[in-house]
Amino acid sequence: MPAFPGLEIESDETVWQGRFPLQVIRFRHARFDGRRSGLRTWELWRRGRAAALLPYDPIADQVVLIEQFRLPALAAGVDPLMVEIPAGLCDPGEDPAATLIREAEEEIGLTPRRILPIGDFVLTPGGCDERVAIHVGEVTAPPGGADGLVGRAGLQAEDEDIQVRVWPAVTAIDAALEGRFPNSVTALALLWLAARRDRIRELWKKTT
């Protein structure tokens, strides 16, 4: 745990050592009023760094999104067939830019020609240290069927079952604005695109 002014760690125990460790930490910290907090106990799930890419075609004005089954979403009471952008955890010491390029190649079969950062976000600050770097990447969207369906992808070694679909950018943005994407990373990326779409199209068309 990095040092922080006013933070005192009383105990730190790893209670689960699976793929992602779970720690139970007892601590005190400085309150905003200057007093010491009472003894607090938090569970901390250690997932680490991640990266995600919004694949955007500025010429066709389309985004490439994926769909896959997420058991935790079902547990949360939402549709487990989630619409997402390609994403994954960084290997130890790996730069997030390398991660998102690898994930895009594995999950949609595309390599972005260039990328721009959107932001770096802690997804669940109340219980998990996962921090995801989101970028937008320039791609050429593959042709899709009448419903935008391109096909299926994913690593067989990881038993991934991913469906790839092309969306008109305005349709995907409208869905995000209407709250129809409960996946926070997808929503963040598309809401950013809503604010920056014209600027990105102009920039990438000029430098193509």
Which are the catalytic amino acids? Answer: 158
3-state secondary structure of 70: coil
Q: Which two tokens stand for residue 99?
A: 């991660």
CA atoms of 65 and 172, how far apart (whole Å) = 9
Consult the annotation and say whether 107 binds a ligand: yes
Cβ neighbours of residue 95 under 8 Å, at least 6 residues apart? none
CA distance 141 to 151: 13
CA neighbor of 116 nearest in space, from 53, 207, 60: 53
Decide: residue 58, CB within 10 A, 0-12 exposed, 13-18 middle, 19+ buried.
Answer: buried
d(CA 70, CA 194): 26
30 C-beta neighbours (distance < 10 Å), count: 14
Query: Taking the chain, what is the end-to-end CA distance rounded to the nearest angstrom?
Result: 45
- Is 103 labelled a binding residue? yes
Annotated binding site: 87, 103, 107, 160
Annotated binding site for Mg(2+): 87, 103, 107, 160
